[in-house]
Structure 1
Amino acid sequence: MSRESILLVDDEKEIIELMEIYFKNEGYLLHKASNGLEALSILENHEVDLIILDIMMPEMDGIQACMKIREENNTPIIMLSAKSQDIDKIAGLSIGADDYVTKPFNPLVLLARVKSQLRRYKQLNRQETKKNDHEIMIDELVINTATHTVTVDDQEVKLTPREFAILELLAINQGIVLSMDKIYQEVWNEPFMDSKNTIMVHIRKIREKIEKDKQNPRFIKTVWGIGYKMKSSKEL
Protein backbone atom coordinates (compact mmCIF):
# COMPACT_ATOMS: atom_id res chain seq x y z
CA MET A 1 0.00 0.00 0.00
CA SER A 2 1.01 3.59 -0.59
CA ARG A 3 2.77 5.47 2.20
CA GLU A 4 2.56 8.96 0.72
CA SER A 5 1.65 11.66 3.20
CA ILE A 6 -1.16 14.16 2.73
CA LEU A 7 -1.80 17.45 4.48
CA LEU A 8 -5.54 18.14 4.70
CA VAL A 9 -6.35 21.74 5.62
CA ASP A 10 -10.00 22.57 6.33
CA ASP A 11 -11.90 24.21 9.19
CA GLU A 12 -14.89 21.88 8.70
CA LYS A 13 -14.42 19.06 11.19
CA GLU A 14 -16.86 16.80 9.34
CA ILE A 15 -14.77 16.92 6.15
CA ILE A 16 -11.57 16.20 8.06
CA GLU A 17 -13.13 13.19 9.80
CA LEU A 18 -14.73 11.84 6.61
CA MET A 19 -11.61 12.13 4.44
CA GLU A 20 -9.43 10.74 7.23
CA ILE A 21 -11.33 7.45 6.91
CA TYR A 22 -10.86 7.30 3.13
CA PHE A 23 -7.19 8.26 3.18
CA LYS A 24 -6.27 5.87 5.96
CA ASN A 25 -8.08 3.04 4.19
CA GLU A 26 -5.82 3.73 1.18
CA GLY A 27 -2.73 3.64 3.38
CA TYR A 28 -1.90 7.35 3.26
CA LEU A 29 -0.28 9.13 6.18
CA LEU A 30 -2.44 12.12 7.13
CA HIS A 31 -1.60 15.47 8.68
CA LYS A 32 -4.52 17.73 9.63
CA ALA A 33 -4.83 21.50 10.00
CA SER A 34 -7.79 23.84 10.43
CA ASN A 35 -6.27 26.97 8.85
CA GLY A 36 -3.37 28.21 6.77
CA LEU A 37 -1.14 29.10 9.72
CA GLU A 38 -1.40 25.59 11.12
CA ALA A 39 -0.64 24.20 7.67
CA LEU A 40 2.53 26.27 7.35
CA SER A 41 3.65 25.13 10.78
CA ILE A 42 3.17 21.47 9.81
CA LEU A 43 5.11 21.98 6.58
CA GLU A 44 8.04 23.36 8.53
CA ASN A 45 8.31 20.12 10.50
CA HIS A 46 7.06 17.43 8.14
CA GLU A 47 7.53 16.43 4.53
CA VAL A 48 4.26 15.91 2.70
CA ASP A 49 3.55 14.63 -0.80
CA LEU A 50 0.30 16.50 -1.43
CA ILE A 51 -1.73 19.32 0.13
CA ILE A 52 -5.52 19.68 0.10
CA LEU A 53 -6.30 23.28 0.92
CA ASP A 54 -9.71 24.78 1.62
CA ILE A 55 -10.10 28.42 0.57
CA MET A 56 -12.46 29.82 3.21
CA MET A 57 -10.76 29.47 6.60
CA PRO A 58 -10.12 31.70 9.62
CA GLU A 59 -6.76 33.33 10.53
CA MET A 60 -5.17 32.55 7.16
CA ASP A 61 -7.30 31.49 4.22
CA GLY A 62 -6.32 29.03 1.50
CA ILE A 63 -5.37 31.71 -1.05
CA GLN A 64 -2.85 33.28 1.31
CA ALA A 65 -1.57 29.90 2.41
CA CYS A 66 -1.14 28.69 -1.17
CA MET A 67 0.82 31.80 -2.12
CA LYS A 68 3.06 31.37 0.92
CA ILE A 69 3.63 27.68 0.24
CA ARG A 70 4.53 28.33 -3.39
CA GLU A 71 7.35 30.67 -2.37
CA GLU A 72 9.55 27.64 -1.72
CA ASN A 73 7.54 24.46 -2.18
CA ASN A 74 6.30 22.73 -5.36
CA THR A 75 4.25 20.03 -3.62
CA PRO A 76 0.94 19.40 -5.48
CA ILE A 77 -1.95 21.45 -4.09
CA ILE A 78 -5.65 20.71 -4.56
CA MET A 79 -7.90 23.61 -3.62
CA LEU A 80 -11.33 23.07 -2.03
CA SER A 81 -14.05 25.69 -2.25
CA ALA A 82 -17.80 26.10 -2.05
CA LYS A 83 -17.47 28.66 -4.86
CA SER A 84 -18.15 27.09 -8.24
CA GLN A 85 -17.71 30.08 -10.59
CA ASP A 86 -15.02 29.74 -13.24
CA ILE A 87 -13.39 32.96 -12.06
CA ASP A 88 -12.87 31.41 -8.62
CA LYS A 89 -11.30 28.31 -10.14
CA ILE A 90 -9.04 30.43 -12.32
CA ALA A 91 -7.98 32.47 -9.29
CA GLY A 92 -7.07 29.32 -7.37
CA LEU A 93 -5.09 27.82 -10.23
CA SER A 94 -3.34 31.10 -11.06
CA ILE A 95 -1.73 31.34 -7.61
CA GLY A 96 -0.14 27.92 -7.92
CA ALA A 97 -2.78 25.28 -7.22
CA ASP A 98 -2.65 22.13 -9.36
CA ASP A 99 -6.33 21.19 -9.18
CA TYR A 100 -9.65 22.53 -7.89
CA VAL A 101 -12.55 20.61 -6.31
CA THR A 102 -15.90 22.23 -5.57
CA LYS A 103 -17.82 21.56 -2.36
CA PRO A 104 -19.87 19.52 -1.74
CA PHE A 105 -17.83 16.74 -3.31
CA ASN A 106 -17.88 12.98 -3.55
CA PRO A 107 -15.02 11.62 -1.37
CA LEU A 108 -14.18 9.09 -4.06
CA VAL A 109 -13.77 11.90 -6.60
CA LEU A 110 -11.37 13.76 -4.32
CA LEU A 111 -9.48 10.52 -3.68
CA ALA A 112 -9.16 9.95 -7.44
CA ARG A 113 -7.84 13.50 -7.91
CA VAL A 114 -5.29 12.91 -5.15
CA LYS A 115 -4.04 9.71 -6.78
CA SER A 116 -3.83 11.42 -10.16
CA GLN A 117 -1.78 14.32 -8.82
CA LEU A 118 0.56 12.01 -6.90
CA ARG A 119 1.18 9.88 -10.01
CA ARG A 120 1.90 12.95 -12.10
CA TYR A 121 4.21 14.45 -9.48
CA LYS A 122 6.19 11.23 -9.02
CA GLN A 123 6.55 10.81 -12.78
CA LEU A 124 7.86 14.34 -13.19
CA ASN A 125 10.30 13.82 -10.33
CA ARG A 126 11.58 10.59 -11.88
CA GLN A 127 12.08 12.33 -15.22
CA GLU A 128 13.89 15.23 -13.57
CA THR A 129 16.10 12.89 -11.54
CA LYS A 130 16.93 10.87 -14.63
CA LYS A 131 17.73 14.06 -16.51
CA ASN A 132 19.93 15.40 -13.73
CA ASP A 133 21.78 12.09 -13.47
CA HIS A 134 23.06 12.68 -17.01
CA GLU A 135 23.86 16.37 -16.65
CA ILE A 136 27.06 18.03 -15.50
CA MET A 137 26.50 21.70 -14.71
CA ILE A 138 29.33 24.20 -14.26
CA ASP A 139 27.90 27.69 -14.04
CA GLU A 140 26.23 28.34 -17.42
CA LEU A 141 27.81 25.28 -19.04
CA VAL A 142 25.61 22.16 -19.17
CA ILE A 143 26.96 18.85 -20.50
CA ASN A 144 24.45 16.07 -21.09
CA THR A 145 26.33 12.78 -21.18
CA ALA A 146 23.28 10.85 -22.38
CA THR A 147 22.40 12.97 -25.41
CA HIS A 148 25.96 14.23 -26.02
CA THR A 149 24.73 17.81 -26.11
CA VAL A 150 26.35 20.91 -24.67
CA THR A 151 24.74 24.25 -23.90
CA VAL A 152 26.26 27.52 -22.75
CA ASP A 153 23.92 30.24 -21.49
CA ASP A 154 21.02 28.05 -22.74
CA GLN A 155 22.45 28.06 -26.28
CA GLU A 156 23.46 24.71 -27.77
CA VAL A 157 27.00 24.45 -29.15
CA LYS A 158 28.07 21.83 -31.66
CA LEU A 159 31.08 19.72 -30.73
CA THR A 160 32.70 16.92 -32.68
CA PRO A 161 32.73 13.50 -30.96
CA ARG A 162 36.40 13.97 -29.99
CA GLU A 163 35.76 17.47 -28.64
CA PHE A 164 32.81 16.22 -26.62
CA ALA A 165 34.85 13.31 -25.25
CA ILE A 166 37.60 15.68 -24.09
CA LEU A 167 35.12 18.09 -22.52
CA GLU A 168 33.26 15.24 -20.81
CA LEU A 169 36.53 13.80 -19.44
CA LEU A 170 37.56 17.16 -18.02
CA ALA A 171 34.08 17.78 -16.58
CA ILE A 172 33.88 14.38 -14.89
CA ASN A 173 37.25 15.16 -13.31
CA GLN A 174 36.51 18.83 -12.68
CA GLY A 175 39.05 20.53 -10.46
CA ILE A 176 41.65 17.83 -11.22
CA VAL A 177 44.60 18.57 -13.51
CA LEU A 178 44.82 16.06 -16.35
CA SER A 179 48.07 15.74 -18.29
CA MET A 180 48.05 15.79 -22.06
CA ASP A 181 49.10 12.16 -22.23
CA LYS A 182 46.26 11.20 -19.85
CA ILE A 183 43.71 13.03 -22.01
CA TYR A 184 45.06 11.43 -25.18
CA GLN A 185 45.09 7.91 -23.76
CA GLU A 186 41.54 8.23 -22.40
CA VAL A 187 39.99 9.82 -25.50
CA TRP A 188 41.93 8.18 -28.31
CA ASN A 189 42.33 4.91 -26.38
CA GLU A 190 45.91 4.44 -27.54
CA PRO A 191 49.40 5.22 -26.18
CA PHE A 192 50.49 8.86 -26.09
CA MET A 193 53.06 9.43 -28.86
CA ASP A 194 54.16 13.06 -28.68
CA SER A 195 50.63 14.23 -29.50
CA LYS A 196 50.68 17.48 -27.56
CA ASN A 197 49.77 19.52 -30.63
CA THR A 198 46.72 17.31 -31.21
CA ILE A 199 45.44 17.97 -27.69
CA MET A 200 46.21 21.69 -27.89
CA VAL A 201 44.33 22.07 -31.17
CA HIS A 202 41.27 20.28 -29.80
CA ILE A 203 41.29 22.35 -26.60
CA ARG A 204 41.54 25.54 -28.68
CA LYS A 205 38.55 24.50 -30.80
CA ILE A 206 36.49 23.62 -27.71
CA ARG A 207 37.29 26.99 -26.17
CA GLU A 208 36.25 28.77 -29.35
CA LYS A 209 32.82 27.19 -28.96
CA ILE A 210 32.18 27.43 -25.21
CA GLU A 211 34.21 30.43 -24.04
CA LYS A 212 33.16 34.05 -24.46
CA ASP A 213 36.69 35.28 -23.86
CA LYS A 214 39.16 32.71 -25.16
CA GLN A 215 42.08 34.68 -23.70
CA ASN A 216 40.56 34.41 -20.23
CA PRO A 217 38.64 31.11 -20.29
CA ARG A 218 36.00 30.48 -17.63
CA PHE A 219 35.77 26.72 -17.95
CA ILE A 220 38.92 25.01 -19.22
CA LYS A 221 42.04 26.20 -17.42
CA THR A 222 45.60 25.66 -18.63
CA VAL A 223 48.05 24.42 -16.01
CA TRP A 224 51.36 25.28 -17.63
CA GLY A 225 53.82 22.44 -17.97
CA ILE A 226 51.24 19.85 -16.92
CA GLY A 227 47.97 19.92 -18.83
CA TYR A 228 44.39 21.14 -18.37
CA LYS A 229 41.64 21.12 -15.82
CA MET A 230 37.96 21.98 -15.83
CA LYS A 231 36.89 24.65 -13.39
CA SER A 232 35.08 23.03 -10.46
CA SER A 233 31.40 23.86 -10.01
CA LYS A 234 32.28 24.68 -6.39
CA GLU A 235 34.82 27.32 -7.33
CA LEU A 236 33.77 30.95 -6.93
Structure 2
Amino acid sequence: MDFYLMANQILIVEDDLEIVDLLEIHMKDLNAEVESVNDGLSALEKAQHKDYDLILLDLSIPKLNGVEVCRELRKTKNTPIIMVTAKTEEIDKVLGLEIGADDYITKPFSIRELKARAKAVMRRSDAANQQTGDSKSTELDFGDLKVNIEMRRVTIEGKKIDLSPKEFDLLVLLANYPGRSYSRSELLDVIWGYNFSGYEHTVNSHINRLRAKIEPDMGNPIYILTTWGIGYRFNEDI
Protein backbone atom coordinates (compact mmCIF):
# COMPACT_ATOMS: atom_id res chain seq x y z
CA MET A 1 0.00 0.00 0.00
CA ASP A 2 1.32 3.43 -0.89
CA PHE A 3 2.00 5.47 2.21
CA TYR A 4 0.12 8.44 0.70
CA LEU A 5 -3.18 6.54 1.12
CA MET A 6 -2.98 6.65 4.91
CA ALA A 7 -2.03 9.47 7.25
CA ASN A 8 1.63 9.18 8.18
CA GLN A 9 2.45 9.50 11.86
CA ILE A 10 5.41 11.86 12.29
CA LEU A 11 7.10 12.87 15.53
CA ILE A 12 9.14 16.10 15.62
CA VAL A 13 11.75 16.31 18.37
CA GLU A 14 12.99 19.89 18.52
CA ASP A 15 13.34 22.51 21.26
CA ASP A 16 13.20 25.56 18.98
CA LEU A 17 9.49 26.36 18.77
CA GLU A 18 9.85 28.39 15.56
CA ILE A 19 11.43 25.41 13.82
CA VAL A 20 8.73 23.13 15.26
CA ASP A 21 6.03 25.35 13.75
CA LEU A 22 7.82 25.36 10.40
CA LEU A 23 8.27 21.59 10.36
CA GLU A 24 4.68 20.92 11.41
CA ILE A 25 3.33 23.00 8.54
CA HIS A 26 5.42 21.25 5.89
CA MET A 27 5.21 17.72 7.25
CA LYS A 28 1.43 17.98 7.12
CA ASP A 29 1.87 18.42 3.37
CA LEU A 30 2.99 14.77 3.34
CA ASN A 31 -0.47 13.67 4.50
CA ALA A 32 0.82 13.41 8.05
CA GLU A 33 -0.52 13.63 11.55
CA VAL A 34 2.22 15.46 13.41
CA GLU A 35 3.17 15.44 17.07
CA SER A 36 6.05 17.29 18.67
CA VAL A 37 8.09 17.21 21.87
CA ASN A 38 11.01 19.38 22.94
CA ASP A 39 13.20 17.04 24.98
CA GLY A 40 14.81 13.64 24.60
CA LEU A 41 13.10 11.85 27.48
CA SER A 42 9.64 12.76 26.18
CA ALA A 43 10.67 11.71 22.68
CA LEU A 44 11.90 8.32 23.84
CA GLU A 45 8.75 7.68 25.85
CA LYS A 46 6.48 8.55 22.92
CA ALA A 47 8.50 6.61 20.36
CA GLN A 48 8.62 3.49 22.52
CA HIS A 49 4.85 3.42 22.98
CA LYS A 50 3.69 4.41 19.50
CA ASP A 51 4.65 3.34 16.00
CA TYR A 52 5.64 6.40 13.98
CA ASP A 53 6.33 6.44 10.25
CA LEU A 54 9.09 9.01 10.76
CA ILE A 55 10.91 10.82 13.55
CA LEU A 56 12.65 14.14 12.86
CA LEU A 57 15.19 14.16 15.67
CA ASP A 58 17.27 17.17 16.61
CA LEU A 59 20.71 16.30 17.95
CA SER A 60 21.00 19.02 20.60
CA ILE A 61 17.91 18.64 22.78
CA PRO A 62 17.63 18.80 26.58
CA LYS A 63 17.46 15.92 29.10
CA LEU A 64 18.60 13.29 26.58
CA ASN A 65 20.40 14.26 23.37
CA GLY A 66 19.46 12.99 19.94
CA VAL A 67 22.27 10.44 19.77
CA GLU A 68 21.19 8.89 23.08
CA VAL A 69 17.54 8.84 22.00
CA CYS A 70 18.43 7.13 18.71
CA ARG A 71 20.70 4.61 20.42
CA GLU A 72 18.06 3.64 22.98
CA LEU A 73 15.26 3.50 20.44
CA ARG A 74 17.26 1.26 18.10
CA LYS A 75 17.39 -1.42 20.79
CA THR A 76 13.72 -2.14 20.22
CA LYS A 77 12.39 -0.16 17.24
CA ASN A 78 13.15 0.27 13.56
CA THR A 79 11.27 3.56 13.23
CA PRO A 80 12.72 5.70 10.40
CA ILE A 81 14.78 8.55 11.86
CA ILE A 82 16.15 11.68 10.20
CA MET A 83 18.57 13.57 12.41
CA VAL A 84 18.25 17.35 12.16
CA THR A 85 21.02 19.43 13.67
CA ALA A 86 22.98 22.64 13.42
CA LYS A 87 26.23 20.77 13.87
CA THR A 88 28.24 20.19 10.70
CA GLU A 89 31.25 18.25 11.99
CA GLU A 90 31.79 15.02 10.12
CA ILE A 91 32.08 13.05 13.36
CA ASP A 92 28.50 13.98 14.27
CA LYS A 93 27.21 12.70 10.95
CA VAL A 94 29.18 9.48 11.18
CA LEU A 95 28.02 8.90 14.75
CA GLY A 96 24.41 9.40 13.77
CA LEU A 97 24.68 6.86 10.96
CA GLU A 98 26.59 4.37 13.09
CA ILE A 99 23.89 4.23 15.76
CA GLY A 100 21.09 3.71 13.27
CA ALA A 101 19.76 7.02 11.92
CA ASP A 102 18.28 6.62 8.44
CA ASP A 103 19.35 10.03 7.17
CA TYR A 104 20.89 13.28 8.33
CA ILE A 105 20.27 16.92 7.43
CA THR A 106 21.93 20.05 8.81
CA LYS A 107 20.49 23.46 9.65
CA PRO A 108 19.83 25.68 7.86
CA PHE A 109 18.12 23.25 5.50
CA SER A 110 15.95 23.55 2.44
CA ILE A 111 12.33 22.63 3.15
CA ARG A 112 12.11 21.10 -0.31
CA GLU A 113 15.13 18.91 0.42
CA LEU A 114 13.82 17.88 3.84
CA LYS A 115 10.44 16.91 2.39
CA ALA A 116 12.13 14.91 -0.37
CA ARG A 117 14.31 13.09 2.15
CA ALA A 118 11.34 12.43 4.44
CA LYS A 119 9.36 10.90 1.57
CA ALA A 120 12.36 8.82 0.47
CA VAL A 121 12.99 7.47 3.98
CA MET A 122 9.35 6.52 4.48
CA ARG A 123 9.20 4.86 1.06
CA ARG A 124 12.33 2.85 1.80
CA SER A 125 10.91 1.78 5.14
CA ASP A 126 7.64 0.74 3.53
CA ALA A 127 9.49 -1.19 0.81
CA ALA A 128 11.73 -2.90 3.38
CA ASN A 129 8.72 -3.99 5.41
CA GLN A 130 7.09 -5.41 2.28
CA GLN A 131 10.33 -7.15 1.34
CA THR A 132 10.54 -8.74 4.78
CA GLY A 133 6.96 -9.85 4.47
CA ASP A 134 7.66 -11.30 1.03
CA SER A 135 10.79 -13.20 2.12
CA LYS A 136 11.18 -16.73 0.82
CA SER A 137 10.47 -18.20 4.25
CA THR A 138 9.14 -16.91 7.54
CA GLU A 139 11.78 -18.95 9.37
CA LEU A 140 15.37 -19.68 8.38
CA ASP A 141 17.03 -22.72 9.95
CA PHE A 142 20.80 -23.14 9.92
CA GLY A 143 21.22 -25.74 12.64
CA ASP A 144 22.15 -23.90 15.82
CA LEU A 145 21.18 -20.55 14.24
CA LYS A 146 17.49 -19.95 13.65
CA VAL A 147 15.88 -16.75 12.33
CA ASN A 148 12.15 -16.12 12.67
CA ILE A 149 11.51 -13.31 10.20
CA GLU A 150 7.91 -12.59 11.15
CA MET A 151 8.73 -12.28 14.86
CA ARG A 152 12.16 -10.71 14.16
CA ARG A 153 13.65 -13.23 16.53
CA VAL A 154 17.10 -14.85 16.32
CA THR A 155 18.22 -17.77 18.46
CA ILE A 156 21.45 -19.76 18.76
CA GLU A 157 21.14 -23.15 20.44
CA GLY A 158 17.74 -21.98 21.66
CA LYS A 159 19.08 -18.82 23.29
CA LYS A 160 17.59 -15.53 22.10
CA ILE A 161 20.10 -13.14 20.53
CA ASP A 162 19.32 -9.42 20.70
CA LEU A 163 20.05 -7.72 17.39
CA SER A 164 19.52 -4.11 16.42
CA PRO A 165 16.99 -3.57 13.59
CA LYS A 166 19.75 -2.96 11.02
CA GLU A 167 21.73 -6.01 12.22
CA PHE A 168 18.60 -8.13 11.84
CA ASP A 169 17.88 -6.76 8.37
CA LEU A 170 21.45 -7.48 7.29
CA LEU A 171 21.24 -11.03 8.59
CA VAL A 172 17.91 -11.71 6.86
CA LEU A 173 19.08 -10.29 3.55
CA LEU A 174 22.30 -12.34 3.54
CA ALA A 175 20.75 -15.51 4.97
CA ASN A 176 17.93 -15.52 2.44
CA TYR A 177 20.49 -15.87 -0.35
CA PRO A 178 23.39 -18.05 0.88
CA GLY A 179 26.45 -17.78 -1.34
CA ARG A 180 25.31 -14.53 -2.94
CA SER A 181 28.00 -11.88 -2.38
CA TYR A 182 26.86 -8.33 -1.68
CA SER A 183 29.16 -5.36 -2.03
CA ARG A 184 29.19 -2.77 0.72
CA SER A 185 27.52 -0.25 -1.59
CA GLU A 186 24.74 -2.76 -2.38
CA LEU A 187 24.13 -3.37 1.31
CA LEU A 188 24.03 0.37 1.94
CA ASP A 189 21.49 0.82 -0.85
CA VAL A 190 19.20 -2.03 0.28
CA ILE A 191 19.41 -1.64 4.06
CA TRP A 192 20.09 2.09 4.51
CA GLY A 193 19.23 3.80 1.23
CA TYR A 194 20.88 5.96 -1.41
CA ASN A 195 21.74 8.85 0.94
CA PHE A 196 24.51 6.80 2.54
CA SER A 197 26.83 6.76 -0.46
CA GLY A 198 30.42 7.01 0.73
CA TYR A 199 29.78 5.49 4.15
CA GLU A 200 30.76 1.88 3.43
CA HIS A 201 32.50 1.69 6.82
CA THR A 202 29.00 1.76 8.36
CA VAL A 203 28.43 -1.69 6.82
CA ASN A 204 31.72 -2.95 8.27
CA SER A 205 30.75 -1.75 11.75
CA HIS A 206 27.35 -3.42 11.62
CA ILE A 207 28.76 -6.66 10.20
CA ASN A 208 31.36 -6.74 13.00
CA ARG A 209 28.68 -6.23 15.65
CA LEU A 210 26.48 -8.88 14.02
CA ARG A 211 29.36 -11.35 13.95
CA ALA A 212 30.17 -10.63 17.58
CA LYS A 213 26.64 -11.70 18.48
CA ILE A 214 26.17 -14.80 16.31
CA GLU A 215 29.62 -16.21 15.53
CA PRO A 216 31.18 -18.74 17.94
CA ASP A 217 34.62 -17.44 16.92
CA MET A 218 34.95 -13.91 15.52
CA GLY A 219 38.34 -14.78 14.04
CA ASN A 220 36.87 -17.69 12.04
CA PRO A 221 33.26 -16.84 11.19
CA ILE A 222 31.02 -19.65 9.99
CA TYR A 223 27.88 -17.70 9.07
CA ILE A 224 28.80 -14.26 7.69
CA LEU A 225 31.79 -14.66 5.39
CA THR A 226 33.94 -12.04 3.69
CA THR A 227 34.17 -12.20 -0.08
CA TRP A 228 37.55 -10.56 -0.62
CA GLY A 229 37.45 -7.65 -3.02
CA ILE A 230 33.64 -7.60 -3.04
CA GLY A 231 31.92 -7.58 0.35
CA TYR A 232 30.02 -10.18 2.36
CA ARG A 233 27.97 -13.34 1.90
CA PHE A 234 26.18 -15.93 4.01
CA ASN A 235 27.90 -19.32 4.10
CA GLU A 236 26.29 -21.48 1.41
CA ASP A 237 27.69 -24.70 2.91
CA ILE A 238 25.67 -24.62 6.14
Q: Normalising by the residue count of structure 1, what TM-score does the alignment of the two structures yield? A: 0.56
**RMSD over equivalenced CA pairs, Å:** 2.7
Out of 106, 113, 122, the position equivalent to 1:109 is: 113
Q: Following TM superposition, by how much is the alpha carbon of 1:35 offset from its aligned partner in structure 2, in angstroms?
A: 1.2
The equivalent residue for 1:118 is 122
1:17 and 1:121 mapped to 2: Cα distance? Answer: 26
Q: Following TM superposition, by how much is the alpha carbon of 1:88 offset from its aligned partner in structure 2, in angstroms?
A: 1.6
Q: Following TM superposition, by how much is the alpha carbon of 1:50 offset from its aligned partner in structure 2, in angstroms?
A: 1.2
The equivalent residue for 1:232 is none
1:122 and 1:60 mapped to 2: Cα distance? Answer: 28
Alignment of structure 1 residues 212-231 onto 2, 5 Å? none
Distance 1:10 1:128, change over 3 A: same
Long gaps (5+) in structure 1: 143-152, 158-236
Contact 2:51 2:79 survives alignment (8 Å): no
The equivalent residue for 2:162 is none
1:7 and 1:155 mapped to 2: Cα distance? Answer: 33
Q: Following TM superposition, by how much is the alpha carbon of 1:52 offset from its aligned partner in structure 2, in angstroms?
A: 1.0
1:117 and 1:98 mapped to 2: Cα distance? Answer: 7
The equivalent residue for 1:130 is 134
Out of 38, 44, 58, the position equivalent to 1:40 is: 44
Aligned AA (1:39): A
Aligned AA (1:100): Y
The equivalent residue for 2:236 is none
Q: Following TM superposition, by how much is the alpha carbon of 1:85 offset from its aligned partner in structure 2, in angstroms?
A: 2.0
Out of 78, 85, 88, the position equivalent to 1:84 is: 88
Deviations 1:7-57 (A, max 9, x none): 110101011101111111321111211111111121233211111110001
The equivalent residue for 2:31 is 27
Aligned AA (1:75): T
The equivalent residue for 2:194 is none
Aligned AA (1:66): C
Moved more, 119-128 or 87-96: 87-96
Distance 1:44 1:85, change over 3 A: closer
Q: Following TM superposition, by how much is the alpha carbon of 1:156 offset from its aligned partner in structure 2, in angstroms?
A: 9.5
Distance 1:136 1:81, change over 3 A: closer
Aligned AA (2:40): G
Alignment of structure 1 residues 154-233 onto 2, 5 Å? none
Distance 1:138 1:112, change over 3 A: same
2:25 and 2:110 mapped to 1: Cα distance? Answer: 14
1:106 and 1:8 mapped to 2: Cα distance? Answer: 17
Aligned sequence identity (%): 38
Q: Following TM superposition, by how much is the alpha carbon of 1:155 offset from its aligned partner in structure 2, in angstroms?
A: 11
The alignment of Structure 1 onto Structure 2 pairs a total of residues equal to: 147
2:132 and 2:84 mapped to 1: Cα distance? Answer: 29
Q: Normalising by the residue count of structure 2, what TM-score does the alignment of the two structures yield? A: 0.56
The equivalent residue for 1:100 is 104
Aligned AA (1:60): L
1:119 and 1:99 mapped to 2: Cα distance? Answer: 13
Deviations 1:94-120 (A, max 9, x none): 111111100011122111110000011
The equivalent residue for 2:211 is none
1:155 and 1:12 mapped to 2: Cα distance? Answer: 45
Deviations 1:145-183 (A, max 9, x none): xxxxxxxx96999xxxxxxxxxxxxxxxxxxxxxxxxxx
Deviations 1:68-109 (A, max 9, x none): 101111111111111112222111111111111000111221
1:63 maps to 2:67: yes
Distance 1:139 1:10, change over 3 A: same
